[in-house]
Chain A
Amino acid sequence: MMRPDPRRADRLRLLAGLALAGTLILPLVPLALWSVAQGWRFPHLLPQAWSGRAWAHALDPASGVLESLALTTLIALATTFIAALVGVPAGRALGLYRFRGKGIVTLLLLAPAVLPAIAVVFGLHGVFLRLGLTGTVAGVILAHLVPVLPYMTLVMAAVFARLDPELEAQARTLGATPFQTFRCVTLPAILPGLMTAGLFAFLVSWSQYLLTLAIGGGKVQTLPLLMFSFSSAGRNDITGAIALIYILPGLLVLILTARQVTGRGAALTQGLRP
């Protein structure tokens, strides 16, 4: 039997990898081209003329894109903050303790994380209507908590499961107050996991579409909603510009967490979402 040439095998793998990588960025190519195109009719392979008009429009305060960017950021930040405030203690209970009813609690957390938003959104709208929360930013933030809070809690449970509870006990024996123990022992230990969880929780809120549309009722225009309305109106150039702005945080998060992701980043792999 002939042994395959290792360099040839390397080249084949690289080719297959490049094909994979090429496919992965392919849908972004027309979006990027459209954002700098001025007229791009069939059958031209490239835009007839290049232009910064779409970007100028997107970055002009009068167009509402920047306002929508700020609103989307505010909603994602607030959702992440509330989810961390509430999800970290819950993650601690799930990660450090065994108790009766843990299965039910985990199930209650998993269901909203895996069920599509359409399963709850109509009923949630009915509840929010009674509370006067429809059409408000606060209502949209609360609605985003439905997928984001379970995500945060489950990832933090995995982080706490790797924490050695003995460290806290030792700090307490040495005379530290509960707050000092938390600040000087627990927090530094969970901080990398909490940062990763927070960044990805931000992205979960950032990419919500249906919950924002239904609860915001068209009054809360986040970036995906704005992008869709430009796309429906046939403004491919502005759609392209918004799309590139919209994927930027994902890119940043990835660069920030790159080391943990390529290593055995359990926090990410346990919290991956389709």
Chain B
Amino acid sequence: MTDRTRIALLLAPALLLLGGLFLSGLGLTLLRSFRYFPALGLTEPDLGAYAAILTSPGFLRSLGLSLWIASASTVLAAILALVAALLLRQSFPGRALISFLVQLNLTIPHVVGAIGILYLLSQSGAFARLAHAAGLIAGPADFPVLVNDPFAIGIILLYVWKEVPFIALILLANLQTLGEDHESVARSLGATRWQAFRHVLLPMLAPGLAAASALVFAFAFGAYEVPLILGQHAPKALPVLAWQAWTDTDLATRPEAMAMSIVIAAIGLALLALVARAVRQGGE
């Protein structure tokens, strides 16, 4: 058996299965987003669904909200993860326990975290009760609206809470392979701690940080269950709006749902491709 046949045989089952599921799913979504839907009598593909959503104020508001959620979550999580990774790199008493908790967070499903945040931050939640006990508020209505709110604060906090450990662990793995040599060389040449961080360590961490952040952005932009639990009624986050259009009793909105999910996929993929290219160029 030649190597080529062997490789083809090894890959065939996975590619057939994944291709059958992923490509057919994506392909059918794409077809229907072009309003090709024979069961509904639509046999002439056109761009009507895209035209309809791109001129609908509801869609554009949802798109804006989802972009805001993903950007704010990613930036905050990336900064805090950098701080957390630099902290966890040091050795200090209690570090093992804290590392364990950081990893534990990674295994908690988003839906559990979202309901936990809801019980913490709602107007009758744990923080509101603490504020009441401290005499800061007289009743639930006085507590600021932090979940199901127009600025998506609850959603962003959930993503920051969930993705800081994710980015931090990727950075820690990078830090382990880099070692401390480069910084100590910079320090011995007279650089301050800040200069050594800013000009030596940060550029070396940048590719990993960028890749992890892009994954977080794509996830926060496309996740459904988190804005379902923590989001407000209108505008809804884009995935929730797409789901609503898909489950609408009026089947005519289905192509629009498909178009929305293609827009979500395209934005996520474009960003990841951009980062992959930047990382590859930076590495050369």
Contact = CB atoms under 8 A, between A and B. Distances in A.
A253 B109 CA distance: 14
Nearest to A119: B265
A77 interface: no
A117 B228 CA distance: 15
A153 B14 contact: yes
Contacts of A249: 107
Interface string A122-137: 1110110000000000
Interface in A189-237: 203, 206-207, 209-210, 224, 227-228, 231, 236
A89 interface: yes
A112 to B, nearest CB: 5
B113 interface: yes
B29 A27 contact: no
B225 A228 contact: yes
Nearest to B271: A114
B133 A24 contact: no
A94 B11 CA distance: 8
A272 B264 contact: no
A167 interface: no
Interface residues of A, number: 86
B166 to A, nearest CB: 5
Interface string A254-269: 1000100110101001
Interface in A235-255: 236, 239, 243, 246-247, 249-251, 253-254
B170 A30 contact: no
B35 interface: no
B93 interface: yes
Contacts of A153: 14
A116 interface: yes
Nearest to B3: A97
Contacts of A85: 13
A105 B17 CA distance: 13
Q: Is the interface of B mostly helix, strand, loop or mixed?
A: helix
Contact of B18 (A16, A119, A146, A251): A146
B197 interface: no
A27 B104 contact: no
Interface in B86-118: 87-88, 90, 92-113, 115-118
A108 interface: yes
A31 B115 contact: yes
Contacts of B13: 85-86, 89-90
Nearest to B31: A123
B25 interface: yes
Contacts of B139: 42
B216 interface: yes
Contacts of B50: none
Interface stretch (B52-60, B181-189, B254-262): B254-262
A124 B24 contact: yes
Contacts of A26: 116, 120
B241 to A, nearest CB: 10
A187 interface: no
B223 interface: yes
A74 interface: no
Contact of A116 (B112, B120, B163, B268): B268
Interface string B5-19: 011011101110111
Interface of A: 9-10, 13-14, 16-18, 20-21, 23-31, 34, 42-45, 85-87, 89-90, 92-94, 97, 99, 105, 108-109, 111-112, 114-124, 126-127, 142-143, 145-146, 149-150, 153, 203, 206-207, 209-210, 224, 227-228, 231, 236, 239, 243, 246-247, 249-251, 253-254, 258, 261-262, 264, 266, 269, 272-274
Given A116-B268, A120-B25, A224-B225, 11 more contacts: A42-B124, A43-B128, A116-B264, A120-B265, A123-B24, A123-B26, A126-B29, A149-B18, A209-B109, A250-B104, A274-B215
Interface of B: 3-4, 6-7, 9-11, 13-15, 17-19, 21-32, 84, 87-88, 90, 92-113, 115-120, 124-126, 128-130, 132-133, 139-140, 161-163, 165-166, 169-170, 173, 176-177, 215-216, 218-225, 228-229, 239, 242-243, 246, 254, 257-258, 261-262, 264-265, 268-269, 272
List the 10 shortest-distance A-B pairs measured between CB atoms, nearest first.
A116-B222, A27-B116, A250-B107, A123-B29, A124-B25, A119-B265, A123-B28, A90-B14, A207-B109, A120-B25
17 contacts: A26-B120, A27-B161, A34-B119, A90-B14, A93-B7, A114-B218, A116-B268, A119-B261, A119-B262, A149-B17, A224-B112, A228-B115, A228-B229, A239-B115, A254-B107, A272-B169, A274-B220
